[in-house]
Amino acid sequence: MELRHLRYFISVAEELHFGRAALRLHIEQSPLSRAIKELESDLGVQLLERSTRTVNLTSAGEVLLQEARTMINGAQHVRERVHAAAQPDNEPVLRVVVTDGVAQPKLMKLLSQCRVCTPALAVRLQDMTAEQLQESLLNQEIDLGLSLRAGDETGLCSQPVWRDKVSLALPVDHALCSLESISLEQAAAHPLIGYDEKLCPEGYRAIELMLDTQALAVQLTISASGHEEMLLRVGAGYGIGFLLSSHPEQFLPPGIVTRPLKGCEHAVITYALFHPTGVSEDALQLIKHARQIGLLD
């Protein structure tokens, strides 16, 4: 059982679609299908129930999904510790986890500022779900997390670092592209793409909180597994998606433009999360840089 097979399985299990999983992994669909069959053969169980239209996890697949996530995170933790041990004493390593939905342009600014202000500090980034981030922080396997969800309910400490308004993403040939800004009522006349509550809980929660502040009842007709799939569907013409206003168009795939959401003052907050027993000076410095970026924007 190879880690590569487990990564492939996690993608299929989360997407429940071989085409989307292959796109997410940047591979062809045939080697992905072959790898899943090899994994099932190795374990001697059926992991997925396939039909011409649907893919579902078996009970064995549900168990493997949980265990595979733990194994992948464990392997990443081992890798980080080995890299940290190989660093000279004057080159500390800060282990930072970022969850889906955190604004990539602001994250790029943060890393750039750290590189200039603290060049001796090596920042190791890793992607996790919000639940995996919270567990890793509580186990003190990482130093800091950046998430759209505060850690109050889990016992973690959190500080807001920056805020983003919600914008709309739409295809360049969409009928609403001629408008400089778009109201929710105008957008709701077209299919709206939200986020799956289980596969992308932070995106789901951020959009639900935004919609709760609006007087108009809105039905989201399509659920995406994450930011990447949402943009993929927008570009393919399925509908209009929601994203953070700090994502300028040069960070978007070709064929997609953004417009401000008119009349919506709701802001999505990104938090820095850390263990309640304390946070290192390096982590505090990174939080300080992040808050400065938030103030500048």
Q: What is the pLDDT of residues 193-245, one digit of tens each?
A: 999 888 888 888 889 989 988 878 888 999 988 888 899 999 999 999 998 88
Number of domains observed in the structure of the chain: 3
Burial class (CB in 10 A: 0-12, 13-18, 19+), 104: middle
Determine how β-strand 267-274 pairs with β-strand 144-147. antiparallel
Beta bridge partners of 259: 168
76 belongs to a structural domain: no
203 belongs to a structural domain: yes
CB-CB neighbours of 268 under 10 Å: 25
Looking at the fold, whether 241 and 290 belong to one and the same domain comes out as no
59 belongs to a structural domain: yes
pLDDT of residue 89: 54
Q: What is the pLDDT of residues 163-172, one digit of tens each?
A: 989 999 999 9
Mean pLDDT of the chain: 86
Looking at the fold, whether 175 and 263 belong to one and the same domain comes out as yes
Looking at the fold, whether 191 and 123 belong to one and the same domain comes out as no
Domain finish residue from 36, 70, 104:
70
Looking at the fold, whether 131 and 196 belong to one and the same domain comes out as no
Mean pLDDT of 142-161: 86
CA atoms of 99 and 227, how far apart (whole Å):
11
How distant is the alpha carbon of residue 236 from its chain centre? 21
CA atoms of 10 and 15, how far apart (whole Å):
8
Q: What is the pLDDT of residues 77-101, one digit of tens each?
A: 677 667 666 655 555 789 999 987 7
Looking at the fold, whether 157 and 276 belong to one and the same domain comes out as yes
Query: Where residue 250 falls among pLDDT bands split at 50, 70, 90?
Result: low
pLDDT of residue 152: 67
Mean pLDDT of 259-278: 90
Looking at the fold, whether 100 and 117 belong to one and the same domain comes out as yes
291 belongs to a structural domain: yes
Looking at the fold, whether 114 and 239 belong to one and the same domain comes out as no
How distant is the alpha carbon of residue 272 from its chain centre? 15
Looking at the fold, whether 139 and 179 belong to one and the same domain comes out as no
pLDDT of residue 199: 80
Looking at the fold, whether 148 and 58 belong to one and the same domain comes out as no
Looking at the fold, whether 196 and 106 belong to one and the same domain comes out as no
CATH code of 55's domain: 1.10.10.10
Angle of helix 59-86 versus helix 130-138 axis, rounded to 10: 50
DSSP string, the chain: --HHHHHHHHHHHHHS-HHHHHHHHTS-HHHHHHHHHHHHHHHTS--EEE-SS-EEE-HHHHHHHHHHHHHHHHHHHHHHHHHHHHS-TTS-EEEEEEETTS-HHHHHHHHHHHHHH-TTPEEEEEEE-HHHHHHHHHTTSSSEEEESS-SGGGT-EEEEEEEEEEEEEEETT-GGGGSSSEEHHHHTTS-EEEE-TTTSHHHHHHHHHHHHTSSS-----EEESSHHHHHHHHHTTS-EEEEETT--GGGSPTTEEEEEEET---EEEEEEEE-TT---HHHHHHHHHHHHHHHH-
Q: What is the pLDDT of residues 96-129, one digit of tens each?
A: 999 877 878 888 889 998 888 888 888 988 888 8
- More confidently predicted of 179 and 229: 179
CATH code of 185's domain: 3.40.190.10
What phi and psi, each to the nearest 5 degrees, are found at residue 197?
Answer: -65, -35
Mean pLDDT of 180-197: 93
pLDDT of residue 88: 55
88 belongs to a structural domain: no
Looking at the fold, whether 179 and 148 belong to one and the same domain comes out as no
286 belongs to a structural domain: yes
Looking at the fold, whether 154 and 201 belong to one and the same domain comes out as no
Angle of helix 18-25 versus helix 29-43 axis, rounded to 10: 110
Give the CA angle between residues 73, 74, 76 to the nearest 5°.
Answer: 65
Residue ranges making up the domain that contains 25: 3-70
pLDDT of residue 253: 82
